Amino acid sequence: MKKMVMRSRFFVSSFCAISLLGVSSVQAADLTVSVEIPSLTVAEYHTPYVSVWLENEKGESTTLAVWYQLEERGQKSEKGEEWLKDMRQWWRRIGRETDMPVDGVSGATRKPGKHELVFTEGKAPLGKLAKGNYVLLVEAAREVGGRELVKVPFTWPVAGEQSAKGSAELGEIKIIVNP
In tens, the pLDDT along 51-86 reads 999 999 999 999 999 999 886 666 666 778 888 999
- Cβ neighbourhood burial of 128 (10 Å; 0-12, 13-18, 19+): exposed
Element holding 24 (H helix, E strand) = helix 2-27
Q: Are 164 and 135 in contact (CB under 8 A)?
A: no
Domain range summary for the chain, segments of one domain joined by +? 28-178
Q: Concatenated DSSP letters for 49-96?
A: EEEEEEEETT--EEEEEEE---EETTEE-SGGGGGGGGSHHHHHHTGG
| pLDDT tens-digit readout, 99-137 | 888 888 989 999 999 999 999 999 999 999 999 999 999
- The pLDDT assigned to 9 comes to 43
Give the pTM. Answer: 0.81
